[in-house]
């Protein structure tokens, strides 16, 4: 068993951001070296000066892209060995033939947007509300998010609950935290991706993995021979484990810590003669008595009715454009957010009062944090409406799936159809149209259906008198499917009747005639 030298750290409360222009110069030197194929220069910049190999310039060109574009095979190999990676959702991966020899996967799965979001947090910590800095040397400061590290690592969770609880600047003085190895571990914690490292850093990487109690990552670096197929299987297991970690963190450390606002609880923004200092919060808004074992690392709270949810700006702003505008938009400062003491810190509190209930908002947060949501059928319509308000298109899709998996409408069918049209949810619109076709006899007698047709006609911009109506076209389509006549229609959408016509063909024509009469009654030619 490897023995570890105790890590000495210097802790500070002030959050420091690097403003050293030398980093930009080092990066520009790296780009030039990659263009020219100067392998020795690239090695020196990466190993001796910790040049950021995954950064991009103003034209979105990374060192790996330039080295590959210019045909410098050895430079590309070195960059991949030292953790360079191909961006998701781009065509650049097709250029990098060497990726197959390193522990990278270019496969796109259903959870891709979620992992792209996590990659963004790793790549751009300063633009995504990072709240902790690790200073590893005189020139190396690495920014990270406490909630990510807390959720993914027992080591960091323990540190943030004890030694590092009230500190956001952590200076490591005597340790084996090599910057390249530490960045590789951070990338694993954020995205579950295993970065390739050089032979001379393997021992340090394995030691650091063991120090951080990352057993599965330790095994990946100690295992010498792993087939490409095994790598793909293990990578999939790692991504599944990452999702489980965030699901566990959400349920155990966030959802369980929501609490009811006391009636006499006052905002820290309200004038008071006994307003607390930053170190001595008042008893009105101290939440220590409500805390359970395990911290949330929250940096913002959302109040829905009388319930308050601890949250994180990084997740809210980068997963929902609604929250991004509220928290960072041009009018954010004019919102006059309240502040509240939570886990011994003063953090902002936003109150949302647009008919969203705590039960629905808990489902919204579940999706934001885990990219999945178990929506009860009886809440699916409300989730659909709120998902549209919070600009969560994928959650809208999930809600529409629940709505359309039912045998009968959960809500009033006309309410569902209007929601489908207003929110542009095609799946729900088609389901409603099919339901209308299945119940066409009773629907044609319902005044609400006539009103829906008129609304549909009026909603079409610059509609001509003979233009068709999508809702009528869809109903006609589902009727043709119901009666099995789709392949036997003439140019007028009818089945040619003769002595050999089947009963259902005659019935189909009769229903279409009734629909035409309704349209004539409404003075619509569709």
Domain boundaries, the chain: 8-250, 259-265+284-382, 407-521
Distance CA 340, CA 321 (A): 24
What CATH fold (topology level) applies to the domain 259-265+284-382? Potassium Channel Kv1.1; Chain A (3.30.710)
pLDDT score recorded for residue 269:
41
* Number of residues that this document lists for the chain: 526
pLDDT score, position 369: 96
d(CA 519, CA 278): 69
Residue 87: its pLDDT value, please? Answer: 58
Question: What are φ and ψ of residue 247, in 5° steps?
Answer: -65, -45
**Could you tell me the fold of the domain covering 8-250?**
Potassium Channel Kv1.1; Chain A (3.30.710)
Helix (H, G, I), strand (E, B) or coil at 111: coil
d(CA 236, CA 305): 40
pLDDT at residue 419, as a whole number: 96
Measure the CA–CA gap between 290 and 258, rounded to whole angstroms.
9
Q: What integer pLDDT is reported at residue 336 of this predicted model?
A: 57
Token readout for 411 is: 């809500």
d(CA 360, CA 375): 9
> How far is residue 92's CA from residue 79's CA, in Å, rounded to a whole number?
15
Residue 25 confidence (pLDDT) = 85
Sheet bearing 8-12, strands edge to edge: 8-12, 169-174, 132-135, 141-144
Can you say how many angstroms the Cα of residue 461 is from the centroid of all Cα atoms in its chain? 35
Q: Which residue stretches of the chain have pLDDT < 70?
A: 1-22, 48-49, 86-111, 173-176, 224, 261-294, 331-336, 460-467, 486-501, 525-526
pTM: 0.74
> What pLDDT is attached to residue 358?
94
CA distance 452 to 122: 49
Q: Would you call 398 exposed, middle or buried from its count of C-beta atoms within 10 A (0-12, 13-18, 19+)?
A: buried
Contact status, residue 168 vs residue 157, Cβ threshold 8 Å? no
Structure tokens, 150: 């807390």
Contact 482, 504 (CB under 8 A): no
Q: How many Cα atoms within 13 Å fall on the side-chain side of residue 50?
A: 16
Please give the pLDDT value at position 96: 53
- Tell me which long-range contacts 246-252 makes (C-beta under 8 A, separation of at least 24): 246/151, 246/369, 246/370, 247/369, 247/370, 247/372, 248/151, 249/147, 249/150, 249/151, 249/369, 250/365, 250/366, 250/369, 250/370, 252/294
Neighbouring-strand partners of residue 311: 300
Interatomic CA distance for residues 41 and 36, integer angstroms: 10
Q: Which pLDDT score, from 0 to 100, does residue 378 have?
A: 95
| Helices and strands: H and E segment counts in the chain | 22, 9
Q: Can you tell me the distance from the alpha carbon of 440 to that of 113, in angstroms, rounded to the nearest whole number?
A: 41
Q: Give the three-class secondary structure for 88.
A: coil
Assigned token pair, 204: 């340090």
What is the C-alpha to C-alpha distance for residues 452 and 475, in angstroms, rounded to an integer?
A: 13
* 165 CA to centre of own chain: 27
Residue 25 DSSP label: H
What's the token pair of residue 63?
């060192």
- Return all residues near 212 (Cβ < 8 A) that are at least 6 apart: 153, 155, 156, 185
- Side by side, which strands form the sheet with 259-260? 259-260, 307-311, 300-304, 345-352, 338-342
150, 119 contact by CB (below 8 A): no
Q: Can you say whether the dihedral through the CA atoms of 209, 210, 215, 216 is positive or negative? A: positive
Which of 46-74 are b and which e, b meaning 16 or more Cβ less than 10 Å from the residue's Cβ? bbebbbbbbbbeeeebbbbbbbbeeebee
Distance CA 42, CA 66 (A): 12
Rounded-to-10 torsion of CA 273, 279, 280, 281: 80
Q: Which uninterrupted H or E stretch holds 9?
A: strand 8-12
What tokens appear for 423 in the block?
Answer: 């929110």
**Percent of the chain scored above 90 by pLDDT?**
40
Same fold, 8-250 and 259-265+284-382: yes
């Amino acid at each position: 068993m490897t023995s570890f030298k105790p890590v000495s750290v210097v802790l500070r409360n002030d959050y420091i951001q690097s403003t050293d222009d030398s980093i930009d110069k080092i990066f520009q030197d790296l780009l030039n070296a990659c263009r020219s194929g100067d392998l020795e220069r690239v090695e020196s910049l990466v190993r001796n000066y910790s040049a950021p190999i995954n950064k991009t310039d103003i034209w979105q060109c990374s060192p790996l892209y330039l080295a590959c574009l210019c045909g410098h095979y050895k430079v590309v190999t070195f960059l991949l060995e030292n953790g360079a990676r191909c961006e998701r959702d781009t065509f650049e991966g097709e250029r990098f033939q060497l990726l197959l020899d390193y522990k990278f996967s270019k496969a796109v799965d259903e959870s891709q947007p979620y992992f792209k979001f996590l990659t963004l947090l790793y790549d751009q910590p300063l633009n995504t509300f990072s709240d902790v800095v690790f200073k590893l040397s005189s020139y190396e400061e690495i920014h990270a998010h406490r909630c990510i590290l807390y959720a993914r690592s027992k080591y960091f969770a323990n540190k943030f609950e004890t030694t590092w609880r009230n500190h956001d600047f952590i200076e490591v003085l005597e340790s084996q935290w090599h910057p390249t190895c530490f960045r590789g571990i951070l990338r694993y914690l954020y995205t579950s991706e295993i970065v390739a490292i050089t032979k001379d850093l393997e021992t340090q990487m394995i030691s650091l993995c063991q120090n951080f109690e990352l057993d599965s990552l330790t095994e990946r670096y100690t295992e010498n021979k792993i087939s490409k197929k095994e790598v793909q299987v293990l990578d999939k297991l790692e991504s599944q484990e990452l999702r489980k970690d965030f699901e566990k963190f959400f349920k155990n450390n966030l959802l369980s810590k929501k609490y009811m606002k006391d009636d006499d609880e006052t905002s820290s923004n309200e004038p008071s003669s006994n307003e607390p200092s930053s170190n001595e919060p008042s008893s009105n808004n101290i939440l220590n008595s409500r805390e359970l074992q395990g911290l949330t690392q929250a940096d913002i709270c959302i109040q829905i009715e009388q319930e308050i949810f601890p949250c994180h700006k990084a997740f809210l702003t980068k997963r929902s454009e609604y929250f991004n505008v509220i928290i960072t938009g041009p009018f954010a400062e004019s919102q006059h957010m309240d502040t509240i003491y939570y886990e011994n810190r003063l953090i902002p509190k936003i109150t949302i009062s647009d008919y969203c209930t705590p039960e629905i908002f808990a489902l919204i947060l579940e999706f934001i944090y885990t990219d999945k949501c178990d929506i009860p059928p009886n809440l699916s319509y409300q989730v659909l409406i709120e998902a549209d308000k919070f600009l969560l298109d994928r959650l809208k899709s999930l809600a529409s799936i629940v709505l359309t998996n039912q045998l009968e409408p959960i809500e009033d069918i006309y309410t569902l159809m209007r929601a489908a049209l207003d929110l542009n949810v095609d799946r729900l619109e088609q389901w409603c149209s099919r339901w209308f076709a299945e119940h066409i006899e009773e629907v044609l007698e319902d005044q609400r259906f006539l009103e829906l047709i008129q609304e549909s006609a009026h909603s079409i911009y610059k509609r001509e008198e003979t233009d068709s109506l999508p809702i009528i076209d869809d109903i006609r389509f589902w009727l043709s499917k119901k009666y099995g006549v789709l392949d036997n229609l003439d140019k007028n959408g009818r089945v040619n009747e003769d002595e050999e016509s089947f009963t259902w063909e005659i019935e189909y024509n009769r229903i279409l005639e009734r629909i035409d009469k309704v349209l004539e009654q409404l003075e619509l030619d569709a």
